[in-house]
Amino acid sequence: MSIVSTVVVFGLAALWITSSAHWPRLRDQFFSWSHIEESFPDVLRGFWINMRVWIISMILIMLISLLFAALRALRGPWFAPFRVFAVLYIDLFRGIPAVLLMLLFGLGIPALQLPGVPDAALFWGTVALVVSYVAYTTEVYRSGIDAVHDSQRAAAKALGLTQWQTLRHAILPQAVRNVVPALLNLAVALQKDVALLSIIGVRDAVREARIFTARTFNYSSLIAAAILFLIASIPMARFADWVTRRDQERRLQRTM
């Protein structure tokens, strides 16, 4: 029944749009098959850059944030500088829009032409994404660490584990498990934010599509790029949903 109603509603909507007087113009501007076909190889090559940056920055983000969160969780006066650093870092980079970081790092630093510093926009664009996302991800890990009950620390201490061993063997494994769904959702968001690379001249999918648009005054290449992002993101988002659901079931089971 729900399938039938869905098909009917969407079918009517499609009919209404395609029967509008403006449809042919719309179709030629955005959904011209020949333009999509023509731009596709370049857009796909650019998209490959997006996906590589996505994977690499995701790995870096997960590791660096875990390290930051762990340093931040260490107690005692010796570790105060780490805690202060983490708080300042998070305040700073969570407060600045990612697009600004992208411009500052990706255009600003190469423009300095500092000796010994790479001047590739691709490199600094990736750095900008990592810097921005590490601020969020550290907070996510922290919430996971805070959610581990204090009695776990007491047990580890009673067994003679050092503070670092306690984190490493008792707290962090539980904390990471607590935040897997949240991390996956950040990965989904990052998968789209890699398109920000286009604004600093990296020839990613969006940049390639815009080059094509500028040449042909047709927007179908942007649709080609959109389709590629969709193909990548839908399975990822479904996977994140599935993991989240399984995680909720696990929690429910434990409280019963």
Partner 1 sequence: MRRIEVQDLTKYYGDKLVLHGIDMGVGEHEVVVLIGPSGSGKSTLLRCIGRLVPYDYGKIFLDGVPIDDPALAGNELPKRVGVVFQSYNLFPHLDVLDNITLAPRKVHGIDRDVAEARALEELEKLGIADLADSYPDKLSSGQQQRVAIVRALVNDPEVLLLDEITAALDPELVGGVLSVIRDLKAQGMTMVIVTHEMGFARDVADRVYFLDQARILEEGPPDRVLGDPEHPRTRQFLQRIIEAGRL
The answer to whether residue 157 forms part of the interface with partner 1 (CB under 8 A) is yes
Q: Which stretch binds partner 1 (CB under 8 A): 100-108, 131-139, 169-177, 211-219?
A: 169-177
The SS3 assignment for 178 reads helix
The answer to whether residue 226 forms part of the interface with partner 1 (CB under 8 A) is no
Nearest-approach distance from CB 247 to partner 1, in angstroms: 14
The answer to whether residue 159 forms part of the interface with partner 1 (CB under 8 A) is yes
Site string for partner 1, 15-44 (x = CB under 8 A): ------------------------------
The answer to whether residue 162 forms part of the interface with partner 1 (CB under 8 A) is yes
Interatomic CA distance for residues 160 and 102, integer angstroms: 46
The answer to whether residue 169 forms part of the interface with partner 1 (CB under 8 A) is yes
Backbone angles phi, psi at 180, to 5 degrees: -55, -45
The DSSP string of 13-81 is HHHHHHTSTTHHHHHHHH--HHHHHHHHHHHHHHHHHHHHHHHHHHHHHHHHHHHHHHHHH--SGGGHH
Q: Which stretch binds partner 1 (CB under 8 A): 15-23, 46-54, 113-121, 168-176?
A: 168-176
Q: Are 222 and 46 in contact (CB under 8 A)?
A: no
Nearest-approach distance from CB 17 to partner 1, in angstroms: 52
Q: Looking at 158, 214, 235, 252, which residue binds partner 1 (CB under 8 A)?
A: 158
The answer to whether residue 155 forms part of the interface with partner 1 (CB under 8 A) is yes
CA angle 146, 95, 133 (to 5 degrees): 60
Q: Are 47 and 117 in contact (CB under 8 A)?
A: no
C-beta closer to partner 1: residue 59 or 155: 155
The answer to whether residue 154 forms part of the interface with partner 1 (CB under 8 A) is yes
C-beta closer to partner 1: residue 2 or 151: 151
Site string for partner 1, 176-195 (x = CB under 8 A): -x------------------
CA angle 132, 177, 179 (to 5 degrees): 35
Q: Are 219 and 30 in contact (CB under 8 A)?
A: yes
The answer to whether residue 173 forms part of the interface with partner 1 (CB under 8 A) is yes
Q: Are 180 and 247 in contact (CB under 8 A)?
A: yes
The SS3 assignment for 217 reads coil
Interface residues with partner 1 (CB under 8 A) are 151-152, 154-155, 157-162, 165, 169-170, 173-174, 177, 254
